[in-house]
Structure 1
Amino acid sequence: MASALRFPIDPRMVPVEKVARRLGVTVARFGEIREALEANGFPHPDPIIGNYCLQAVDAWVDARSGLTKAGTAVSDPSIALERIRQRAWAR
């Protein structure tokens, strides 16, 4: 007998359909722009699983939009809030 799902789990590794949706484009459009995205540092899919790391995708979007500097993505909300406070007080 299969066990019932006790709590939802948000997957970290996601297929191209989810990545395209996260970026707000269709899968077809993602296929058209994928090389340009990767040339600009967009993460590649995992070579074994074939899926994309959603955190890496989010970090890339954050860096492109200026929310974080490249390579310094923050997933801990308390750190993110502290950085926001520091920026606010620096003005």
Structure 2
Amino acid sequence: MMRFHVEPRDVPAHAAARRLGLTAEEFDQVADRLYRRGFPRPDPDTNRFDLDAIDQWRRLRNGPLFGLAPAAAAKNASDVVGDRVRTMRRGVP
């Protein structure tokens, strides 16, 4: 029987901390600040962290260096419609 080594992508907090170069204790101390900055939260069912999401978050911190830009913030639909109506009234296509 052939066996394959599987590298888990969802990992416990201590492994997520290691990905950031922190100890588990250091991660616990800064976790709330990281979450406020958009750090990916653990899965609500497994309480595991997605390493790919962590890596992407880290890349986005320095997005221009990686040719990335943060996702655009969602716009309020009423603002968008209002802008379009004002543009149409001015006769601009």
Answer yes or no: same fold by TM over 0.5.
yes
> Counterpart of 1:56 in structure 2: which amino acid?
A
User: Which 5+ residue runs of structure 1 have no aligned equivalent?
Assistant: 72-91
Query: Structure 2 residue aligned with 1:62, among 59, 62, 67?
Result: 59
More deviation, 5-14/50-59: 5-14
Over 3 Å counting, the alpha-carbon distance change for 1:32 and 1:48 in structure 2 is same
Two-structure CA RMSD over aligned residues (Å)? 1.5
Query: Structure 2 residue aligned with 1:38, among 32, 35, 38?
Result: 35
Q: CA deviation at 1:5?
A: 7.0
1:1-91 matches, cutoff 5 A: 6-66=3-63, 67=66, 68-71=68-71
Q: CA deviation at 1:42?
A: 0.3
Which consecutive aligned stretches of 4+ in structure 1 deviate over 3 angstroms post-superposition? Answer: none
> Counterpart of 1:28 in structure 2: which amino acid?
E
TM-score, normalising length: structure 1: 0.68
Aligned residues: 68
Q: Could you tell me the percent identity over the aligned residues?
A: 38
Q: CA deviation at 1:59?
A: 0.6
TM-score, normalising length: structure 2: 0.67
Q: Distance in 2 between matches of 1:22 and 1:51?
A: 13
Q: Which of these two proteins has the greater Rg computed from alpha carbons?
A: 2
> Counterpart of 1:31 in structure 2: which amino acid?
D
> Counterpart of 1:33 in structure 2: which amino acid?
V
Q: CA deviation at 1:70?
A: 2.4
Over 3 Å counting, the alpha-carbon distance change for 1:70 and 1:28 in structure 2 is same
> Counterpart of 1:64 in structure 2: which amino acid?
R
